[in-house]
Amino acid sequence: INGIYAQSIKNDFGIIHQKLGQRAEATRRFQLAVEANPRFSTAWFNLGSNYFQNGEWERAAASFRAAIAGNARSEEAWGALGWALENCGDDREAVVCFRRALELDPGLLVVPVRLADLLARFSRAHVVGALRAVVGELRAGVGQPVPPTAEKVISSFVVTDTAAGMICSPEGAKLVI
């Protein structure tokens, strides 16, 4: 298949094979689509998703990076890259990607949960820093309501005194932020 619609048709066949559980053929079709147009971000995203489903984290990350190169405003690609990097063990870079995804779409559902899990793995100083930023935004009144998904990020903490910058963990430990 050649011509203007070649990339889309190849990508569409990849989606069909992916839905049928024929991942090897889906991979081949997505690869043909990106060969037809190396800036076809949708096909790169689909290729990355296919690799992700196969547990091929590095390949998934590379494909999601290519999707972002084609469309830097794709919150899905940023979130998926974060998830792939998390599975590669690159937690710090995953946090950067998750934050970028949330900047692009504050209403994402999965990303705040992944971000909270990652932040919980970091040292106390990193968690305190993240909470300091959240409380600072709440104090400043960022001009838009806090997305419901952000509640998941901070739901395990009880804010006892935002003016003094104090929070309590579920275990009752007080942190001054």
Q: What mean pLDDT is predicted for residues 42-70?
A: 97
Q: What mean pLDDT is predicted for residues 120-144?
A: 55
The dihedral region occupied by 133, where left means phi > 0, alpha psi between -120 and 50, and beta the remainder, is alpha
Note the pLDDT of residue 38: 94
pLDDT at residue 59 is higher than 90: yes
Note the pLDDT of residue 132: 58
**Angle at CA 101, nearest 5°, toward 96 and 107?**
135
Most confident of 13-22, 60-69, 102-111, 117-126: 60-69
| C-alpha distances out from residue 95 to 82, 99, 119, 132, Å | 7, 6, 8, 16
β-strands 166-168, 158-161 pairing: antiparallel
Note the pLDDT of residue 177: 34
Tokens of 12: 């569409």
Q: How far apart are alpha carbons 95 and 83 in whole angstroms?
A: 9
Q: How far apart are alpha carbons 128 and 62 in whole angstroms?
A: 32
Tokens of 173: 């430990």
Please measure the distance between the N-terminal and C-terminal CA atoms of the chain and give it in whole angstroms.
60
Give every CB contact of residue 29 below 8 A, 6+ residues apart in sequence.
Answer: 10, 11, 13, 14, 17
Q: How far apart are alpha carbons 150 and 143 in whole angstroms?
A: 15
